[in-house]
Amino acid sequence: MMSNCLAIIKYMETKNRTEALKKMQEVELHGEWMTIRDRKMMEEASPNVVVARTGRGNYHTIGEAVRKAPDMTLNRYVIRIKAGTYRENVVIPLETL
């Protein structure tokens, strides 16, 4: 009986630890500010444009992609930023939001 209780407790601790780790990874990947619904939508959404320093995207800089984004749209505009180091200051104009 005691060993069953210990096994259950160990299972619950492992499960809680696994769930906590998964949540931490999601937060690192998407940020705390995104809701679960937004995260799911972003995973399923195909990007409108791609930024890549290597030239394999629509734009080489994030700023370029932001400047070319449509103004005051009701639709979500997704900019995918490929891995790399982007040394730039990005300004998002108020009229774009």
Structure token pair of residue 70 = 């449509």
Q: Which domain holds residue 52?
A: 45-97
Q: What is the pLDDT of residues 4-25, one digit of tens each?
A: 555 556 656 666 667 766 666 6
In a domain, 40, yes or no: no
**30 with 50, same domain?**
no
User: What contacts 66, CB < 8 A, 6 or more positions away?
Assistant: 79, 90, 91, 92, 96
pLDDT of 67 higher than 80: yes
In total, how many domains does the chain have? 2
Of 76 and 5, the one with more pLDDT: 76
Structure token pair of residue 51 = 């930024």
In a domain, 97, yes or no: yes
Q: CB of 48 within 8 A of CB of 78?
A: yes
What is the average per-residue pLDDT within 84-92?
Answer: 91
In a domain, 12, yes or no: yes
**51 with 24, same domain?**
no
Q: What is the pLDDT of residues 11-62, one digit of tens each?
A: 566 666 677 666 666 655 556 677 778 778 777 888 999 999 988 999 999 9
**52 with 93, same domain?**
yes
Q: What is the pLDDT of residue 15?
A: 60
